[in-house]
Structure 1
Amino acid sequence: MNYQEIMTAFSQSGIGALVLSRDGVILSVNEAGDRLLCGQGKLVGQQLIDIAGELGQESNKPVYTCVEFDHYVTRCTTPEADGLPDGAQLIVFRNAVDDACHDMLISVVNQLEEAVILCDEHGRIYLVNDAAEKMDALVTQDVRGMPVSEVYFMRDGEECGTPQVLKTTQAILNRRQSYTTRFGHDVDIVVNMYPIVQNGQVLGASSIMQDWRTLDLLRKQIIDLQDQLVEQSSNGRPTKAKPLSAHYRFHDIIHISPVMDELIAQCQQAARSNSSVMIYGETGTGKELIAHSIHNASSRADGPFLAINCAAIPENLLESLLFGTERGAYTGAESKPGLFEQANHGTLLLDEVNSMNINLQAKLLRVLQDKRIRRVGGTEEIQVDVRVISNTNVPPYQAIEEGKLRRDLFYRLGVVSITAPPLRERPEDIRLLANSFCLKYNEEFHRKVSGIDEKTFSLFQNYSWPGNVRELQHAIEHAMNILPDTQSVISPKYLPRHILDEDTAKQIVKELQPPPRLLGPLDDIIRKFEYDAIFQALKDAGGNVSEAARILQIDRQKLQYRINRYKIEPEASAK
């Protein structure tokens, strides 16, 4: 078939085709090809290498050419064609946007540490990423297209979650599963399973898994370390600071504002009881500082103080960290106490408690009600005497309305509710806090910064401080890191840029710009400086020539001569 007929036929199917000369010049291109290469009718006569060089390369694997952003093409198999110009070749190509995006996403999935499996709508395995191959000791080619239930056999009477997700289109989160692969490999995981739905159609499901043995090793390391600390804390020898003690006291809370006086008075009163305390405050308001202080002012001050961030640990790991485990609870499980046992006769701080899974919140509620815990996999109930303090950076009732905090748990955790005010509501404390941070970093950085200038304090007072006290501390630390040794006072130019108001930022940028380069004859440059100096002196003197002469420290007659020479009107310069 003639090459021109081939090009026309391909164009009707949306496939591009072009004729390339021996020296790489485009001799002709069909309509689809011009569109795919964004040629706008101007491709003929141009070098292909300047437009889409990869199309000139033959390869057994897909090679993508990015013509413009989000616009990829790839070369196709070229049919035999008659009538081509001497030495020319026919090149056929197609739209490859979806192909390139697919390959990029597959590459990303294979770089993840989590194991990922994708199944189609019938539960057949479509993709197993590199981490899953390693965890399950299998090869994708051996299982691709097989039903997931024929590759993974659940233990302990469980059912595979993928068919359930495909049927209900509801995600399954933080499920603990143990299975044996068809190749005899035993695996213990924590998995999140999600349906893949497009325009109401179920396309498949994904499973994102973590090896429980890795999580459990982390749990064991945490518990073992805390065991050692508890032992050191209770060995009977007097120490300056116990390893599991709270570090701060109420006198460490720097303030002069009445709102903080009232807050501390409430906390001191709450410290006298054993009731649970919930502290709400924006990020950086010092919630943990308050929790430490309550513990140290309480009758439990000699007991352990343990803290855990509920947002940073998966649900299954968090449960075993809190309540402990019994041997045989799962593969490799050992008998280990949890944080409640380790904090016995002391205080347990639950940071970001609103991030805790709702199911685990129910178990925590029972512990608070009964003052007994049951280890994961255990049957025996263990009596504990622990005061619980919790923190949240979301207003408690907002968290309840959003379904992130059980209402009944709030009533148990928030017997005493404390609200830490944001820094913008205690502006009286800003100067005191800033100076204290300055002293702190003087000692830490071996500096001798004497203070902070008034313009900086004015900026501090007008700034909203979304990061609160922590952001103020960061601003001072930033300034003292970059403050030159020749400077002893922190000025606005050394603050983080986002703190500055628009006018101050513009002025600092102007000051940092280098002076304009002086060009021209030296006499002209000198006369320009002299003119500017005389004009400014007359302006400062209100047009009085004698006063301007005193400012410039020259005779009045010499100044008058120069005024006449430069044709300056003293009265005009004073305006």
Structure 2
Amino acid sequence: MNVDQHPLLEEVWNHAFDCMMVINEDGKIISLNRPAARLFQGSPSNLIGSSVFELIPSEEFEKSFQKKGKTGIQISLGTKQFVGNIGCHENMDKSVTYYLFLKDITHSQQLQEQINEMNKVRQLFDVILDQIEEGICVIDEHGKILFYNRKSGEVDSLEPEAVRNKRVHDIWNVDEHTSTLLTTVRTGRTLNHRETHFTTNGKPVTTLVRTVPLLLGEQRAAAMEISKDITEQKQLADTIMELQKQTKSPSALPSTLTLQKNHTRFQFENIVFSSREMAQTIEQARRSARSKSNILIIGETGTGKELFAQSIHNESPRNHNPFIAQNCAALPESLLEGLLFGTTVGSFTGAVDRAGLFEQAQGGTLLLDEINSMSPNLQAKLLRVLQERKVQRLGSAKVIDIDVRVIATMNEEPLEAISQGRLREDLYYRLGVVNLVIPPLRNRKDDIRTLAHHFIAKHAKALDVSVNGLEAEVYHFFYRYHWPGNVRQLEHVIEGCLNLVYDETTIGFDHLPPVMKNKLQNYEKPLATESSVQLSGSMPEQIEKLERIMIEQAMNHSGGNITKAAEQLGISRQNLNYKLKKYLIYS
């Protein structure tokens, strides 16, 4: 068939978008339209008689001619992509004529690739938004939920997949006047509020919510709601306020000691000791109590740092004014800042006018426990208050003069805390006008017997038992033990032993905690045999030999852990490091 013999068919043939060709069974082009001629950069007259297999060099394409017809053949010509359909017609003389149709799908494939890439990016954003700790919900102008992330589902106790693509009315019992999302879509206004609602299991959830319109040009196309769960922060703030109320109420702090009007219970007379080391420390503390200078108390956990702080306050001229203590490690930075400096209405959502601890301690003493756990940012703000003796509540422009003595405590070496970035050097010098170091119990072992008898007398009456003291074996073990928890640990051990006493009059091996029993059994094993130490040379030389053997054994038992080895030997980590270098012992 020759389309040139049919004028109307020729018009249709040449004005079609697709490339069309008529091909004989040898692959020679019989006829082709103008789009096909343009594709192969020639004229119809020049291309007629050419081999289609040379123009389209594809093995798959050539094999398609062996069949009566095939559709969906993928063909690449340069940078363009085509899909081809082949049909055939058997002529009267039994010869076969093929019809080839080529559709250019290059642009369609490019669009599909762009769509796939956009879908990939959208899915990536979905994953990112699912990881943040704020709830996000997006609706379109008709109230259909386009996006609802994981955090929103946790707050509302809903599955995100069950919410997406639903209408707001179908998920929550709201209308366009009670829903912040629908209101923002309708009015285009940004809304901010705090709300408390209850989940399906009755748990109260408090959130800060911000709802904003999303615009495409000037048209309101959607609305987004961002909600932040502040349930824990609100509970902490409520707890702090309740504790502050209790602190002001003498009946709220039961104690075996009388609570004084300035909220303290301890004086220097309450410190139990018999060692020379503690006598010197207490004398230094008594002398420092007379001044207004800030004090830094350094001591391991359980050594009695707050006991010293209260005693200093009660020995000072400020003893008729408040003593307020705050553990800096117990609260997050945002709450601790407001608690220290105070807040004003509007400083943050839900804030009220409240005096900070500096104002509450006016004329008295403020104890900041574990100052090294405070963030560097908050340490800088504290330093400014100490330098200027002025404080500003959060959100207020008013400056308040303060007269407060600050006593800070920390349970590590200040210089090590500074080198590790846990303590600002300038704050250390401002706080450490007076440095008071409380020795650990293992460095004042003369106090162990005195303290043990004190704690026996203190707890035996409450537990209704009659105990006179410690068996010799237990006392000797206590004397050799390293006491990582210091005086507090000793008191807890004594109290625990008294709970196990029945009709005995002394605390013995059977009353000790299991961990201590194991320690006592290990101590009974000789650290070195006589044959391992040759008794030759001077006494200092023999002491060094024995010391080296003990250190090597401790390092072996602790698996090379210097801290554990130091505890086992009853010396400080720094001292052990020195001896390791001295004897060339490497962990």
| Structure 2 length-normalised TM | 0.52
* One-letter code aligned to 2:239: L
Note if contact 1:325-1:336 (Cα within 8 Å) is conserved in structure 2: yes
1:459 corresponds to: 477
Query: C-alpha offsets along residues 397-444 of structure 1, whole Å, 9 cap, x if unaligned?
Result: 111111111111111111111111011100111000001101001121
Gaps of 5+ in 1: 1-117, 158-175, 191-209, 234-238, 508-575
Inter-partner Cα distance in structure 2 for 1:154 and 1:231 = 51
What is the aligned counterpart of 2:514 among 497, 500, 511? Answer: 497
> Equivalent residue of 1:180, what SS?
strand
Match status 1:248 vs 2:266: yes
Inter-partner Cα distance in structure 2 for 1:333 and 1:354 = 27
Inter-partner Cα distance in structure 2 for 1:177 and 1:372 = 32
What is the aligned counterpart of 1:487 among 493, 498, 504? Answer: 504
Matches within 5 A, 1:48-447: 123-125=128-130, 132-133=152-153, 135=155, 140-141=160-161, 179-180=210-211, 187=227, 212-226=233-247, 228-229=248-249, 241-242=259-260, 244-447=262-465
- % identical equivalent positions: 40
The verdict on how the C-alpha distance between 1:454 and 1:257 changes in structure 2, with shifts beyond 3 A counting, is: same
Residue 292 of structure 1: how far off its partner (Å): 1.0
Query: C-alpha offsets along residues 217-264 of structure 1, whole Å, 9 cap, x if unaligned?
Result: 3344344545x549999xxxxx96336522111111111111111101
Inter-partner Cα distance in structure 2 for 1:120 and 1:477 = 58
Inter-partner Cα distance in structure 2 for 1:213 and 1:495 = 43
* One-letter code aligned to 1:447: V
Residue 448 of structure 1: how far off its partner (Å): 1.1
Instruction: Tell me how large the CA RMSD over aligned residues is.
Output: 3.8
Note if contact 2:246-2:252 (Cα within 8 Å) is conserved in structure 1: no
Matches within 5 A, 1:466-481: 466-481=484-499
Residue 383 of structure 1: how far off its partner (Å): 1.2
* One-letter code aligned to 1:490: I
The verdict on how the C-alpha distance between 1:188 and 1:326 changes in structure 2, with shifts beyond 3 A counting, is: farther
The verdict on how the C-alpha distance between 1:136 and 1:375 changes in structure 2, with shifts beyond 3 A counting, is: farther
Inter-partner Cα distance in structure 2 for 1:312 and 1:189 = 20
The verdict on how the C-alpha distance between 1:216 and 1:267 changes in structure 2, with shifts beyond 3 A counting, is: same
The verdict on how the C-alpha distance between 1:467 and 1:132 changes in structure 2, with shifts beyond 3 A counting, is: farther
Inter-partner Cα distance in structure 2 for 1:467 and 1:154 = 58
Residue 454 of structure 1: how far off its partner (Å): 1.1
Gaps of 5+ in 2: 1-122, 136-148, 166-180, 193-206, 213-221, 525-587
Query: C-alpha offsets along residues 261-287 of structure 1, whole Å, 9 cap, x if unaligned?
Result: 110111001100011111111111111
Report the number of matched residues. 342
> Equivalent residue of 1:302, what SS?
coil
> Equivalent residue of 1:307, what SS?
strand
Residue 131 of structure 1: how far off its partner (Å): 6.6
Query: C-alpha offsets along residues 185-211 of structure 1, whole Å, 9 cap, x if unaligned?
Result: 674567xxxxxxxxxxxxxxxxxxx66
| Structure 1 length-normalised TM | 0.53
The verdict on how the C-alpha distance between 1:156 and 1:132 changes in structure 2, with shifts beyond 3 A counting, is: closer
Inter-partner Cα distance in structure 2 for 1:495 and 1:446 = 19
1:37 corresponds to: none
In our comparison, the structure showing a higher alpha carbon Rg is 2
2:111 corresponds to: none
Query: C-alpha offsets along residues 351-403 of structure 1, whole Å, 9 cap, x if unaligned?
Result: 11101111111111111011111111111011111111111111111111111
Inter-partner Cα distance in structure 2 for 1:156 and 1:277 = 48
The verdict on how the C-alpha distance between 1:155 and 1:303 changes in structure 2, with shifts beyond 3 A counting, is: farther
1:26 corresponds to: none
* One-letter code aligned to 2:346: G
Inter-partner Cα distance in structure 1 for 2:398 and 2:384 = 15
> Equivalent residue of 1:334, what SS?
coil
Query: C-alpha offsets along residues 18-75 of structure 1, whole Å, 9 cap, x if unaligned?
Result: xxxxxxxxxxxxxxxxxxxxxxxxxxxxxxxxxxxxxxxxxxxxxxxxxxxxxxxxxx
Note if contact 1:275-1:387 (Cα within 8 Å) is conserved in structure 2: yes
Inter-partner Cα distance in structure 1 for 2:157 and 2:223 = 8
Inter-partner Cα distance in structure 2 for 1:217 and 1:130 = 28
Note if contact 1:232-1:243 (Cα within 8 Å) is conserved in structure 2: no
Query: C-alpha offsets along residues 338-360 of structure 1, whole Å, 9 cap, x if unaligned?
Result: 11111111111111110111111
The verdict on how the C-alpha distance between 1:244 and 1:138 changes in structure 2, with shifts beyond 3 A counting, is: farther
Note if contact 2:191-2:211 (Cα within 8 Å) is conserved in structure 1: no
> Equivalent residue of 2:400, what SS?
strand
Inter-partner Cα distance in structure 1 for 2:316 and 2:305 = 17
